[in-house]
Amino acid sequence: MALHTQVDVSQQDREVDINPVYVQEKGLETPRYRLPENRMLPQTAAQVVRDELILDGNARLNLATFVTTWMEPEAEVLMAACADKNMIDKDEYPQTAEIERRCVNILAHLWHSPVDGNATGCSTTGSSEACMLGGMALLWRWRKARRAAGQDASRPNLVMGTNVQVCWEKFCRYWDVEPRMVPMEPGRLHLTADGAVAQCDENTIGVVAIMGSTMDGSYEPVKEISDALDRLQQDKGCDIPIHVDGASGGFVAPFLHPFLDWDFRVPRVASINASGHKYGLVYPGVGWVVWREPSALPDELVFNVNYLGGQMPTFALNFSRPGANVVAQYYNFLRLGFKGYHDVQQACQEVAVFLSSAIAKMGPFELLTEGKELPVFAFKLKDSITGYSVFDISERLRSRGWLVPAYTFPANLQQTAVMRIVVKNGFSMDLAGCLLADLRTQVKILEAHPRPPVPLVDEKARESFRH
Ligand SMILES: *Cc1c(COP(=O)(O)O)cnc(C)c1O
């Protein structure tokens, strides 16, 4: 979470004044950065907090995030009813544990695990924790094999594209694994088979392939990467597993691209993660990771907790965690079924493609993706446009409440500044039409008031959000 520094209260601890309507006594104030001396009524406290939160953006207009911003009222009620359950208390809440087991099974099946019932998996707080667990399994497995063969196990590396989500950089830094990042190039916005294999050697613990790059919504070619790794194994003998980071695509590809080989149908795919709180359609706080077979998950990583008088194996970085999100995931599975998920993701895709084609026709823009893989697309200004930037557009859209991020790509495309739109459940054609109208208006204003070009470094300082 954000690292917060302590505030110098002698300078800044202005008290929060409380509207006299909320309280009996007039002029009640309370400190901001220290624990108040006395209590206040629950209604008063709730009202003060609610008033502050007005300043947050409207989640429904947040086209920056991949994370769910709308759930049905029934799901919200169910989540509130489970707010008091701790996911780790398997013994105390065995039915919640059973529901987690069902979800893992549903996902293993959806991702075509070989049917002999060998897949194992668990829920997590999100894909970041899931990727950390997936990466740890790769590292432990590689180390064990190297040691067993009497070989040096001190210099592990992980191969991936520079477009990976920050969780993979964290994994490498926290576990002292060398990140081997394959850069982006013009016309190549994610990892390719050749790019990946060129970085692999006997110290490679795995290759991360992303199903749904956060940069532009495109799928990385898992099957081609796997085929190239097969050839590498034939030539050089290294048997390198793939972890698929399906944070978004794990809940999109099975429904919209059922014939694409990206999951356990590809034998080299050892593990897959997904965010239940992205296209799994649950509010923030749940992710999933599934391993193809027990041998992909070394025993040393597994700890046991009590469960109905016995023991249940667990693998997690956290201990206590809310159970409500797992229950909500199961609710969605029951409520929507395969057909329902398909229809929801299809509706998102239709909105994404409608928006991207309208934006392409507008004039100043050039699409990098169309939203035909994830319902997510990135676009940039044509090189001929110099009087304003994507950062200006992002800022102007914000004045209407729309949160559309502008950011620069990682190496080697740092000079490319783009905007990205993530279409999620609840973002209707109607809202998309409103966004287009606002985008047209803002572009017209910017065209009428061009400014001299600003160096990209200064522009980047304005980068307000990027996920
Ligand atoms: C969002 C995302 C993550 C991190 O997932 P959280 O669920 O937010 O922790 C990791 N990888 C990819 C590709 C993502 O899109």
The reply to whether ligand 1 has any atom less than 6 angstroms from the CB of 214 is: yes
Its domain, for residue 430, covers 344-461
- Summarised one tens digit per residue, pLDDT across range 53-62 is 999 988 889 9
Structural contact between residues 363 and 444, judged by C-beta atoms closer than 8 angstroms:
no
Q: Domains in the chain: how many in total?
A: 3
Structural contact between residues 370 and 356, judged by C-beta atoms closer than 8 angstroms:
yes
The reply to whether ligand 1 has any atom less than 6 angstroms from the CB of 124 is: no
Same domain? 439 vs 297: no
Last residue of a domain, one of 302, 332, 362: 332
Same domain? 220 vs 287: yes
Same domain? 282 vs 405: no
For the CA of 248, the nearest atom of ligand 1: 15
Same domain? 144 vs 217: yes
**2 occurs within a structural domain:** no
Structural contact between residues 181 and 160, judged by C-beta atoms closer than 8 angstroms:
yes
The stretch 175-182 carries a mean pLDDT of 98
| pLDDT tops 70 at residue 181 | yes
Strand partners, 173: none
The stretch 447-461 carries a mean pLDDT of 79
User: How far does residue 264's CA lie from ligand 1's centre (Å)?
Assistant: 20
**71 occurs within a structural domain:** no
What distance in Å separates the CA atoms of residue 132 and residue 137, rounded to the nearest whole number? Answer: 9
Same domain? 302 vs 419: no
Same domain? 31 vs 169: no
**Which CATH number fits the domain that encloses residue 304?**
3.40.640.10
- Summarised one tens digit per residue, pLDDT across range 384-441 is 999 999 999 999 999 999 999 999 999 999 999 999 999 999 999 999 999 999 999 9
Same domain? 214 vs 315: yes
164-168, 231-235, 451-455: segment of lowest average pLDDT: 451-455
The reply to whether ligand 1 has any atom less than 6 angstroms from the CB of 247 is: yes
**120 occurs within a structural domain:** yes
User: How far does residue 213's CA lie from ligand 1's centre (Å)?
Assistant: 10
Same domain? 81 vs 196: yes
Q: Which of 68, 127, 252 to mutate to test the pocket of ligand 1 (most atoms within 8 A of CB)?
A: 127
Same domain? 46 vs 89: no
pLDDT of residue 26: 55
| pLDDT tops 90 at residue 452 | no
Same domain? 50 vs 84: no
Which CA distances in Å does 1 have to 128, 366, 467? 12, 35, 14
**107 occurs within a structural domain:** yes
The stretch 356-383 carries a mean pLDDT of 98
- Summarised one tens digit per residue, pLDDT across range 191-204 is 999 999 999 999 99
Last residue of a domain, one of 304, 332, 360: 332
- Summarised one tens digit per residue, pLDDT across range 250-306 is 999 999 999 999 999 999 999 999 999 999 999 999 999 999 999 999 999 999 988
Task: Please tell me the residue having the least CA distance from ligand 1 atom 3.
Answer: 127
pLDDT of residue 25: 59
Same domain? 25 vs 96: no
**351 occurs within a structural domain:** yes
**414 occurs within a structural domain:** yes
Q: What SS3 state is found at 403? A: strand
Q: Which of 66, 168, 317 to mutate to test the pocket of ligand 1 (most atoms within 8 A of CB)?
A: 66
**Which CATH number fits the domain that encloses residue 445?**
3.90.1150.160
- Summarised one tens digit per residue, pLDDT across range 226-236 is 999 999 999 99
**255 occurs within a structural domain:** yes
Same domain? 163 vs 312: yes
The stretch 51-72 carries a mean pLDDT of 93
**396 occurs within a structural domain:** yes
What DSSP string runs through 186-243? TTB-S--HHHHHHH--TTEEEEEEEBS-TTT-PBP-HHHHHHHHHHHHHHH-----EE
Q: What SS3 state is found at 253? A: helix
